A and B are shown apart, each in its own frame.
Chain A
Amino acid sequence: MPLTIRLTISGRSYDAAEGVPRELQLGDGTTVDDALAELAGQLKNGSVLPDTCLVALGGAHLGTIAEHEPRSLRDGDELVIIAPVAGG
């Protein structure tokens, strides 16, 4: 059964994430890695999100894009990706 997740991308990524839908439709058994791969294909003009982006699922911090806990997605989950910011 297909599932739908909500997507929040923030931080220094507005350009890359422009046009990315707020929701992603994915297949059953999809993992966070699958969703990140799907998302990478939707970024405009081949841009990429930095490996250092924070990844969180359902309000729980999983790590960074480069290194995070593996998780399966459930229908209605919110995946949050924040490109780190350091402005003072």
Chain B
Amino acid sequence: MLTDDELQRYSRQIGPGVLSRQGQERLRESSVLVTRAGGMGGPAALALTTAGVGRIVLAHGGRMITPDLNRQILGSEATVGEFRAPHFADYLRSMNRYVEVEPLDHEPDDDEALEIAARVDAVLSCPPTFDERLRLSRAAVDTSTPLIDAAQWGMMGTLIVVDPSRTACLRCVYPQEPPFEELFPVVGAISAAIGSLAALEAIKILSGCGEPIFGKMLMYDGFRGRASQIDLRRDPQCPVCGDAR
């Protein structure tokens, strides 16, 4: 049961076209893994926190650096040089007393990704490498946990929402690991937009309210101001989610 204080806090998001009261309660009983908490994962984690998700596991290694500041909303100039995860967790806790935040000061390896995916209700994947993204996708499929993959480059971004065993996993979309660059260009406005949309997909999945875009890729090209939605093809031969695995 939501307390009177919680009902007041969430009053603007309970009602027609938003969440039902039961949906808000389901959100409070839910947990999400967010990795990593950068330009997309940061805004996503903040949106999940203010929306009232019960527990957030926040994985991000290393210390904050000055180039983070063009998109990092969980840190500030004052926190440059500090370890990211514990500081970001403190900030999220300060935004909503009803949300538990579990910081992880590193990115999960295969075993840990599997262990965490098994104990959360959704995985929100925002890492800067395909290696990590494909790892989280495998963990999500193996544990039947819904996956939201948010990615960006420059002023464009993509969002892929996976219902494991039913819709295309990341390996179906990227059968060969694509090349990537470590120092990808990024404008904070697009990473925040894609991160917020990823959080919205998680909120719909967890609350049972609204229509998640399972099986689709949403692409927004902010450089040209164009959006596309693509129905993703699940590969029955996929070594991760296919029928023969």
What is B's interface to A at a CB cutoff of 8 Å?
A: 36, 38-41, 126-130, 133, 151-154, 156-158, 168, 173-181, 184-186, 191, 217, 219, 221, 223-224, 226, 228-233
Contacts and interface: CB of A to CB of B under 8 A. Distances in A.
B156 A51 contact: no
22 contacts: A8-B221, A8-B226, A10-B219, A10-B226, A11-B156, A12-B153, A14-B223, A52-B174, A52-B179, A54-B217, A60-B230, A61-B217, A61-B231, A64-B175, A66-B176, A67-B175, A84-B130, A86-B153, A86-B180, A86-B184, A88-B39, A88-B41
A14 to B, nearest CB: 7
Contacts of B40: 88
A66 B221 CA distance: 23
A54 B130 CA distance: 14
A82 interface: yes
A87 B173 contact: no
A54 B218 CA distance: 13
A43 interface: no
Contact of A14 (B154, B158, B229): B154
Contacts of B152: 85, 87-88
B178 A84 contact: yes
A67 B126 CA distance: 26
B231 A86 contact: no
A80 interface: yes
B233 A61 contact: yes
B105 to A, nearest CB: 16
A61 B184 contact: no
Given A11-B156, A85-B184, 5 more contacts: A10-B221, A50-B178, A61-B173, A61-B232, A69-B233
A10 B184 CA distance: 15
Contacts of B177: 52
A5 B20 CA distance: 44
A85 B153 contact: yes
B201 to A, nearest CB: 17
Given A14-B223, A52-B176, A54-B173, A85 B230 contact: no
A29 interface: no
A86 B228 contact: no
A85 B158 contact: yes
Contacts of A56: 228, 230
Contacts of B228: 8, 10, 56, 59, 80
B61 to A, nearest CB: 12
